[in-house]
Amino acid sequence: MTDTTETAEAGFWTDARRAHAAMLLFATLISSSFTVGGLIARAIDPVALTFWRFVLAGAIFLAIVLATERFKWPSAGELGRYTFIGLLLCIYFALMFEALRWTDPLSAGVVFTLIPAMTAVFSFILLAQRTTGRQIFAMAIAGCGAVWVLFRADIDAMLRFHVGYGEIVFFFGCVSYAAYPVFVRKLHRAESTAVLTFWSLATGTALLGVYGFRTIVETDWAAVPAGVYLGIVYLAVFTTAISFFLIKYASLRLPGAKVMAYTFLIPALVAVLEGIIGHGWPGPAVIAGVVVTALALVVIETG
């Protein structure tokens, strides 16, 4: 009886299903970063905040690598692969910071919904992964649902949306982020996910440190409230270290378009989390958008 049960469980938890569960957790963690980040964003520059997120997350994975594997320095070729993966993340964050100087988070969120479609294009070009017509249609529906949730069903606000300098800058940042899971899969060799994650974080930290050196040095760290440090630790552990591991894990087991399709859920999950912490629940029209997005995501992932 026990053997049969264990076999059934093993049969249910295939690599693909584990990858889907990983991305569902990824979307949940990333959505929480908006709430936590919003609480501490005014106390610290976002460049300095992201740098320390990378530093702490890298330290966590260094400890994991040291505890579970024999640590070794990468060869020049390996370092080049890790640096390129880290560079894609740094480009995304750097352009996001620049874009938010010229546009608002809502407009940036609309541009962000283009990422799954861009990932599908990269997956086709670099990995020969095809997206079916059914999945493309579902992506369009999911994207519309995500935008509906972002604007909280305010049609007038949607009509006022325009593409300016900030949106264009963030678009190129999203192109970099869309390519990220595709290149993780393409550039992965025999190393474990922990090793790949650590060196990607390490090289990304170095690049981000160069980019934001002046901001990081000039930040008055002694004046930062203790609660902000707790927020940084949360972001480093859950929305950086764990989420980076999850997306790398899923990227090696699922097509890129299916991996990034989970980003459609982020606006809906943010709305739910905001309601849970007492910032107000979305109205029926917004909830309808959440449901549409979730159903379209099911079609994408099962197609």
Per-residue pLDDT of the chain (303 residues; tens, 9 = 90+): 444 444 444 566 788 889 999 999 999 998 887 778 777 767 888 888 889 989 999 999 999 999 988 888 999 999 999 999 999 988 988 888 788 778 777 788 888 889 899 999 999 999 988 888 888 899 999 999 998 988 888 888 888 888 888 899 989 999 999 999 999 999 998 888 889 989 999 999 999 999 889 999 998 888 888 888 998 899 899 988 899 899 999 999 999 889 999 988 888 888 887 788 777 787 888 889 889 999 998 999 886
Query: How many beta carbons lie within 10 A of that of residue 299, not counting itself?
Result: 16
Q: Looking at residue 5, what is its pLDDT?
A: 43
Q: Looking at residue 4, what is its pLDDT?
A: 46
Q: Looking at residue 7, what is its pLDDT?
A: 45
Q: Looking at residue 31, what is its pLDDT?
A: 84
3-state secondary structure of 188: coil
Q: Is the Cβ–Cβ distance between 231 and 36 less than 8 Å?
A: yes
